[in-house]
Structure 1
Amino acid sequence: MHRARERVRCLVQEGADGAWAEKQDEVLAGYLQCSGMLAADNHCLERLACQFSADALRAPLHKDVASLVIYTLLRNRFIPERFKRRLRDAAQQARPARKEQHGDATQHCLRRFPCEQRRRSPLRSCGRTRGSTAAAPGEQDRAPNDGPPLKARV
């Protein structure tokens, strides 16, 4: 996790000020809300946190990427706290399974956090069609899937 923090810190420092990083965080949170990844019935990111915490990711690259994704989500102030709590809870769920065999931990995460691929356009689920830059009425104030309204920047 330390390496991931260092990488994120380097990326943030590349921006002249914090405005670039803040906008990037806002866009990421908006995308995750519109795509349904933050919805209460979507457990894909929880599965990632569980597998990472259970040490069920074998390849070093997978571990680095998972660490970076989880850290980025937890530090993003535009991601709802209740979703961050779900990630932390998923990581804690993995710890008892981790004490057992590696395969058991992996299976525990797969069973506990089912992840179904959704075949919908993130832009359509927020009221836009591809190529449209205009927000649907009220969209700049509220995303449909989960969490509080995103702050609109003017």
Structure 2
Amino acid sequence: MTEKLFRPMRTRPWPERWLIRLLGAALAAGAYLLCLPWDLRNRATAAGATEETTPVTVVGVLFLALTLLLLAAYFGHWDDLGWPLLLVAAPPATLMHVSLRAHPGPDASLWPLAWGFFTLLIAAGVLVAAGVARAFRGEWAKEKEELTLTNPL
């Protein structure tokens, strides 16, 4: 099973390749929905309070970032470099756009800037993680070949 997961995409049959890509996009979207609550409007902590609270937590943002970086590293290592951007960065960016668009309000005029900034941040992180993972592609193949030569079983 592990051998199948850790094989270059170009060596797999196209249905398996597309199934893995769809699963990656679903995992990225699911991580966003799990880590960042849908309703992002700030709420007063109590009636008449001036302090506001939001359901977004630091732990949720960090878990989302870690999940997206791991997915980007996987697809960057085993697939072409453009796929991680499409599969890992696009689903959260799309969900964030829909979420911000669904809540018009007094702070709605800033949502395009916030969306653009966070989309660029996610895309840059995904491209960096994919590029770093891609750099290790040759080293992993050499280690695997050496292990095969030393231990043919």
State TM-score, norm by structure 1.
Answer: 0.28
Choose 1 or 2 for highest CA Rg. 2
Between Structure 1 and Structure 2, the one with more helix by share is 2
Higher relative contact order (CA 8 A, sep 6+): 1
State TM-score, norm by structure 2.
Answer: 0.28
